[in-house]
Structure 1
Amino acid sequence: MSGSISQNIAGALFKARKVVLVLFVALTALLGYQASKIQLNTDISKMVPLDHPYIQNYFEHKNDLSLGNDIRLIVAETQGEDIFNDDYMMALKEVTDQVFALEGVDPSKISSLWTSNVRWNEVTEQGFQGGEVIPAGYDGSEQSLEQLRTNVLRSGQVGRLVADNFQSSVVHAHLLDALGDDGVDIPALSASLEEIRSTFQDKYPNVRIHIVGLAKKAGDVMSAAQEVAMFFFLTLGLIALLLLLDTRCIRSALTVSICSFVAVIWQLGIVSTLGFTIDPYSMLVPFLVFAIAVSHGVQIVNTLANYVASGLSSLDASKSTLQALVVPGMVALVSDAIGFLTLYMIDIGVIRELAMAASIGVAVIIITNLIVVPVVLSYVGVSGAAVRKIQAGEEKDHPLAGLFARFTRPGMAAASIIIAVVGYAGGIYLSQDLKIGDLDKGAPELWPDPCEEMDCPRGYEPKDRYRYNHDVNFLVSNYSVSADVLVVMGKTPQEACNTYQAMQAADDMAWTLQNVEGVQDVATIASATKMIATNMNEGSMKWATISRDQYALNNVMSFMPDSLYNLDCSLTPIYVFLDDHKAETLDRVTKAVAEFSETRNNQDVIEFKLASGNAGVEAATNQTIEASQYPMLALVYAVVSILVLIAFRSIRAVICIIVPLGLTSILCQALMAQMGIGVKVATLPVIALGVGIGVDYGIYIYSKLSEYLKQGMDLESAYKETLKTTGKAVAFTGITLAVGVIFWVFSSIKFQADMGILLTFMFLWNMIGALWLLPALGRFLLKPASAAK
């Protein structure tokens, strides 16, 4: 049945091969124009699971909260003993003025020693006194600077806006709604911040500026991601060169390389036409499309060269090649496309767009490579050198072919299966330590700073690839407040956030969280109330409590920072400052909040809801990935298994193809666990995409093997013949693609380097599994009769 279908497809296409090529060129020109218009995604909302309860809770109160979309510019004094000198203060003033002028910054939410919202207060015998931290009439004199020092000490900003060692201070700015319709232009903002850094470090030799924040991190990743194009073209050239060396035919090597590159152009053109964008995470997709296209192209060239070596003309050999490969090729590509589409079940915008882009890219390979490559080769043919190489290979067995063929023998096959079982068991055991989310401090997408902050000399200037994490280290080492903040929302009836019951519940929540490992500090309306009440009573610590007198609490509210309650006093945020945003830290804190809320939530008094802040986003993302990881993988394998079953109509075929694939996935997870690579937005797609590429190897080998078995050959002889054609192409593809991606370890983006390591491993192990384990399984499952079913 499949033979007649393939004959009809091949016959129809070769009758209209000129029309096929004209349409191919026309579509390439059209989609190439569309591809030129594709844009880099700068929308942070696509990196957030918008339907997660945490994010939905944030949207409910978005006018009263921040989602962690703030930036901190730390202006450090590198020469003087501390910041209390006029040169430094002038530099800080100018930096603050520049931050006010930044596009995307909310000017009403900027804090610095130079802003009027940063004040000092004290209680004296005459009553309350206070004012702005910068003294009225500041003129840079010794007297003004001494007054400034006194005001800073009285302001309560040491450890927050001013470093514990008084050698730096912060300009803290909130951005406009990063998830709104008019989101912040992240690359433009990041570039403006870098301009501020370079301008003032050049103007003031005694100043170094460190910049941290979610938007700055995203901007640095997007900036460094431009390198991906360089790595793509490097890989393209390297694969084309290796293809030429393998085939010894410049015509076929150029045909496969050009058609594979055209597949990338088509993919980008269709994605652009549909209104999608490209982002640092989906930049992996063009390479994968190229890799899969080359994989199928190599199979076509090797099969066609074998037909020519047997005496067929270029036209007849091309037609026979398409007829032989159209069914297994389409099964493999459809499996890839549907498998990639299963990533869509993960409710994160960048992953869903990656799923669509990868599925589209694989679908176009059916035309650009599976159909067009044989048609082009029917005109250009293959070189005599390629044919002579095939003929020479038929006269003598390659030593590796003889080695792999031995795995079909009963003893070697049984040993191989035992090794595979041990590999499964060992992989499962080692992958128990696999974590969800980030496992390092700072931004794991970028390289860690090799200079530990406490060992860094003052004024140390890191390389660009380390700069962001160096800046994070500087903040953590010199300030009491972390850049990782989880915000718990305390929702109350209107005008009830300052009742005794609500404040006491918030205070109890704070006490619970302060005793959770990984929590630095907790700021609540209750803690501020205690401090204000103490100040109102001559600093007596006996008053550091929450009064049961509502009139006293109302009086306290006149001094309460507006960041601790909203306008109608129906929401009070609880700010939880964390040591880091590691997955374990976030898990401990969110579980502590959830457990406390189960016992203390009372909507008539206060209801605690998670979560806002940058750590809240990270926690929501981790939970989304954790919930989707194994269902997604199960769906990938289910889809691939069903398509293989439909194509070969044999459970034995499914086992032979899927078992080696599963071993690679398990071992990849074990590798991630041992290397400290967490499952997150950047790495989860790699696991699924690796399955898609690996299944191609198994399908092609099984298809050719079953063909020889149907002819009545014994398993070892059939596999030897398979290795001369399809097996050789699989080995070449796996090694070539692995060599191509291993260069990613030199990327300025750490997550791209991680993906390079994982992909190299998966390309090689998928190849080894298909060549080694598939025939071993076949020894106990396959017979000529069963293969013919």
Structure 2
Amino acid sequence: MSINPVINKLENGIFKHRAFVLAFFALTTVVLLFQATQLKLDAAFTKNIPLNHEYMQTYLKHQKDFGGANNILISVCDAEGDIFNEPFFDALKGVHDQLFFIPGVDRILVKSLFSPSTRFVEVVEDGFAGGPVIPANFRPDEQGLSVVKGNIEKAGIVGRMVADDYSCSMVTASLMEIDPSTGEKLDTLSIAEQLENDIRAQYENDRITVHVIGFAKMVGDVANGAKGVVVFFAIAIAITAIMVFFFCRSITLTLLPISCSLIAVIWQMGMLSSLGFGIDPMSILVPFLVFAIGVSHGVQMINSVVKQVRTGINCKEGAQNSFRALLIPGGVALLSDTIGFITLLSIDIGIIRELAITASLGVAMIILTNLVLLPVLISYMKLENKPLKASKRGGMHKSDVWHAMAALATRGPATVILVLTAGLYVFGLYHAQNMKIGELHAGAPSLHENSRYNQDTFLITDRYAISVDYISVIVETTPDACTSYDNLDVIDRFQWQLENVQGVQSAVSLASIAKIVNSGYNEGNPKWRVLSRNQQTLVQSIARVPTSSGLLNRDCSVMPVILFLEDHKAATITRVVDKVKAVASELNNDNLTFKLASGPVGVMAATNEAVEAAQLPMMLYVYGAVIILCLVSFKSVRATISVVLPLYIVSTLAQGVMTGLDIGLTVSTLPVIALGVGIGVDYGIYILSTMNARLKEGDSVEQAYFAALQERGSAVLLTGVTLAIGVSTWFFSALKFQVDMGILLTFMFLVNMLAAIIVLPAIAAFLWPKPKKDEKKQ
């Protein structure tokens, strides 16, 4: 068989100048190692949202007037009783002031009992009277605390700013995108650190407890949990080293693929830093995958060289032959991985796009380190020209196993396998139809339920009447529209319909507040809790509602309707969003338009829709790329079908597993499907590269498969098991999303490996029904 002239030239160039190649890799590694040390964690809020989604366009348009979804909520609680005591108010004042002066906090939107904008209004003989809930001359003595308690009740903030049982009080704030002290993008992780060290650590004691939630704090906790990845990385290296050693029985051969894979990781991190990227808590998992992929391809190279040396040639010739033999299948497999990761760029969410770039760079580095550097390094070794001890002890047994497995490529066993596979596919497809888009559990989905962050979330949800899960529907209209009864009546009807949707706890809008104020002007009579048709009376009702309330902008041309939800589960969000769209289409008119969305749940709704919209195109891109690469590589439709069909079946089964394990399709789990396909194709390509060559020479499918197992079987099995064991350590992570990713990747690595050695030859048995030798005889 003629050797591709391009590969021949590459081989000659590389192996004639081995010293130069090694010097180049050494120098580049030193430079990129320095660059890698400059890499920083980057967890900007805007990276986590689909900025081009219509909901987020509305969100960004009105962010200055109503704040964003990047909020901080701090509940200060008294563990011994209610809040009306001096130590509590000293702590609350300290938390308020400390939060106020943290760089990046929008000071105008810092609210607590101590905020001047926190006011009460009461009905008196002459009309209304009111003032700050905490007066300027406040002293935390018995009399002062009694006055404050009365003002709190008059202000109607129990359940919102004060807990239902008076055990806690809330301090809230919004974060800006730019740090005004530096003029640079806000460092979310620095904010999280300050919330922990300057607020919780300073004011929490035996009596006072501080509970902090919000995007910045959650990301900080996720980043702290992500530091455990280093431990998992070390465990994975140890496990991999043990597995590779038992495979090759040589310390040197064990260290070579591990070292080359670590160099690929260094190059990846260095390139990221050089290109100006940071690394976020989700992408911090990618270097592990790059290392695992590198080792899997390194094992194939080691396996090939050892087999070449056993034929009686030296290491240099064996390395050259292995370079020629593996450059195309290895390159195609790694190119498939790379393209699989690149397809994630189609998802309009910054954190996924950066994951795609991070992973693509890493796999591209493996092409250089494991297909070029590794064979060059091996060429300097001196291996014995005889089978290794492991082979002596287990050679006959292994050959028997390969002969037994080769029977899978005959029509009888293949029929049974394909029937069982079809049954599994139908089972997986049925359950995959029920896969949910979005989060399926309460609390921050990135963290475990028993994490401090989620426990704080549950406490706030339990003790306050409002939910931390809210969505704002933006009502866009004309200036001074709030003085029109017709406009407020439409908003009121919209609010009423949404309040009666399952999953909505409560709702508030300028219209509902105007009704309460109107009742107050009429001695608090509930019969007057209506919108007045008289414009002057209506103006009087809304005049006392400040823009800081978040219910209107300066010229009253935008008036949000805020919906507080029971949770942020996928079903709840879908139900509410669908109802908003239905009611909006009914009530929208020339003067007034309801638009989704702002608030934390608004961001989640946009993210869920972006993930759902990207799911099918992403899979089409992944499979399209794999199909094209297989066609170019094998020049055979039959070979392509044999590789791709098992991948598709496993992807479907993985979606069924997600449904069964109550794992939703989210920003963290969507990339796993693409990663699983990209990495899973490697097994099939390596197996079929040998099979295809033997089939072209006229061997039967059974003979070709037996040859493939002899040449690649051990390495493929080792790779699949090693990858699966490595990611299975993620089951013990402090991060819930890493646990989910670990479960899915373990499943896909193992099952894709099994599909390549069981289903692939069964398919081939029907696609190549007769050996070419037999055909020639006929």
Residues 247-286 of structure 1 mapped to structure 2, 5 A cutoff: 247-286=248-287
Corresponding residue of 1:663: 649
Classify the secondary structure of the residue corresponding to 1:490.
strand
In structure 2, what is the Cα distance between the partners aligned to 1:729 and 1:787? 32
Task: Determine the structure 2 residue equivalent to 1:459.
Answer: none
CA contact (8 A) 1:407 1:775 kept: yes
In the TM superposition, what are the counterparts of 1:181-200 in structure 2 within 5 Å?
Answer: 182-200=184-202
Greater shift in the superposed pair: 267-276 or 257-266: 267-276
Once the two structures are TM-superposed, the CA of residue 291 in structure 1 deviates from its matched residue by 1.4
Q: CA deviation at 1:409?
A: 2.3
Superposition deviation, residue 182 in structure 1: 4.2
Number of the residue aligned with 2:586? 599
Structure 2 match to 1:380: 381
1:90 equivalenced with 2:57 (yes/no):
no
Shift in Å, 1:131? 1.9
CA contact (8 A) 2:699 2:772 kept: no
SS at match of 1:442: coil
- Consecutive unaligned residues of structure 1, counting only runs of 5 or more, are 450-465
5 Å-filtered alignment, 1:397-546, equals: 397-398=398-399, 400-449=401-450, 466-546=451-531
> Is structure 2 residue 556 aligned with structure 1 residue 585?
no
**1:686-718: CA deviations, max 9, x gaps?**
110111111011000001122333444333233
**In structure 2, what residue type is equivalent to 1:36?**
T
1:487·1:613 contact (CA, 8 Å) conserved in 2?
Answer: yes
The CA deviation at 1:403 is 3.7
**Cα distance in 2 between the residues matched to 1:18 and 1:154:** 83
Written as runs of structure 1 = structure 2, the 5 A alignment for 1:319-334 is 319-334=320-335
* Matches for 1:625-636 after TM superposition, within 5 Å: 625-636=611-622
8 Å CA contact retained: 1:249, 1:382: no
Asked if structure 2 preserves the Cα contact closer than 8 Å seen for 1:44 and 1:178, the reply is no
Q: Distance in 2 between matches of 1:535 and 1:340?
A: 60
* CA deviation vs aligned residue, 1:545-578 (integer Å, no higher than 9, x gap): 1111111122223211322111111111111111
Alpha-carbon separation, structure 2, partners of 1:578 and 1:184: 29
- C-alpha separation between the residues in 2 aligned to 1:408 and 1:179? 64
Residues 77-127 of structure 1 deviation map (CA, whole Å, 9 limit, x = unaligned): 1112x1122222222122222121222212211221222211111112233
Residue equivalent to 1:137:
137
Partner amino acid for 2:331? M
SS in 1 for 2:73: strand
The amino acid across from 1:768 in the alignment is L
Match of residue 653 from structure 1: 639
Contact 1:251–1:381 under 8 Å retained in 2:
no
The answer to whether the 8 A contact 1:251-1:382 is kept is no
Equivalence for 1:105: 105
| Residues 1:128 and 2:128 aligned together | yes
Aligned to 1:455: none
Q: Does 1:162 align with 2:147?
A: no
Q: Percent identity?
A: 42
Structure 1 CA distance for aligned equivalents of residues 40 and 638 of structure 2 = 46
Q: Structure 2 length normalisation: TM-score?
A: 0.96
Q: For residue 722 of structure 1, what is the aligned residue in structure 2? A: 708
2:561 equivalent in structure 1: 574
Q: CA deviation at 1:229?
A: 2.2
- Between 1:715-724 and 1:332-341, the stretch displaced more is 715-724
SS at match of 2:312: coil
Partners in 1 of 2:761 and 2:234 — Cα distance?
36
> Which residue does the alignment assign to 1:461?
none
- Of the structure 1 ranges 711-720 and 367-376, higher mean CA displacement relative to structure 2 is found in 711-720
Q: 1:527 to 1:179 in 2, by over 3 A?
A: farther
Read off the aligned partner of 1:475 and give its amino acid letter. I
Instruction: Give, in whole Å, the separation in 1 of the partners of 2:178 and 2:455.
Output: 25
Q: Verify the 8 A CA contact 2:103 2:179 in the aligned structure 1.
A: no
TM-score (norm 1): 0.94
Per-residue CA distance 1:145-195 (angstroms, 9 max, x = gap) = 222222211110010011111111111122224799844321111111112
Is 1:732 aligned to 2:734, yes or no?
no
Secondary structure of the corresponding residue to residue 397 of structure 1: helix
CA distance in 2, matches of 1:58, 1:670: 34
Q: Give the deviation of 1:768 after TM superposition.
A: 0.3
What one-letter code is carried by the residue in structure 2 that aligns with 1:497?
Answer: C
Post-superposition Cα deviations, 1:746-786, rounded to whole Å, max 9, x if no partner, equal: 11111111111111111100110001111111111125449
Task: Give 1:787 shift.
Answer: 14
Change (3 A) 1:198 1:564: closer
Change (3 A) 1:424 1:335: same
Distance 1:443 1:79 in 2: 28
- 1:275 deviation in Å? 1.4
| 8 Å CA contact 1:75, 1:209 repeated in 2 | yes
C-alpha separation in 2, matches of 1:706 and 1:391: 29
Contact kept, 8 Å, 1:69 with 1:178, in 2: the verdict is no
CA contact (8 A) 2:312 2:385 kept: no
Whether 2:362 is the aligned partner of 1:358: answer no
Secondary structure at 1:417 match in 2: helix
Secondary structure of residue in 2 paired with 1:3 = coil
Q: How does 1:682-693 map to 2 (within 5 A)?
A: 682-693=668-679
Q: Within 1, Cα distance between the matches of 2:460 and 2:370? A: 52
User: Equivalent residue for 2:17?
Assistant: 16
Cα deviation digits, residues 268-293 of structure 1 (max 9, x gap): 11122111211111112211211111
Give the CA deviation at 1:391.
5.6
User: Would you say how many aligned residue pairs link Structure 1 and Structure 2?
Assistant: 770
Tell whether the 8 Å contact from 2:91 to 2:203 is kept in structure 1 after alignment: no
Paired residues of 2:478 and 2:557 also in contact (CA < 8 A): yes
Q: 2: distance between equivalents of 1:535 and 1:396?
A: 90
Amino acid paired to 2:557: S
Could you say which residue in structure 2 is the equivalent of 1:302? 303
Deviations along 1:195-254, one digit per CA (max 9) or x if unpaired, are 24543455x421111111122112211222122122122212221222112110111111
Give 2:624's aligned residue.
638
Q: 1:539 is paired with a residue of what secondary structure?
A: coil
- Evaluate the alpha carbon distance shift between residue 178 and residue 663 of structure 1 in structure 2; reply closer, same or farther with a 3 A threshold: farther
Q: Structure 2 CA distance, aligned partners of 1:140 and 1:49?
A: 47
Provide the rounded CA distance (Å) in 1 between the counterparts of 2:483 and 2:403. Answer: 81
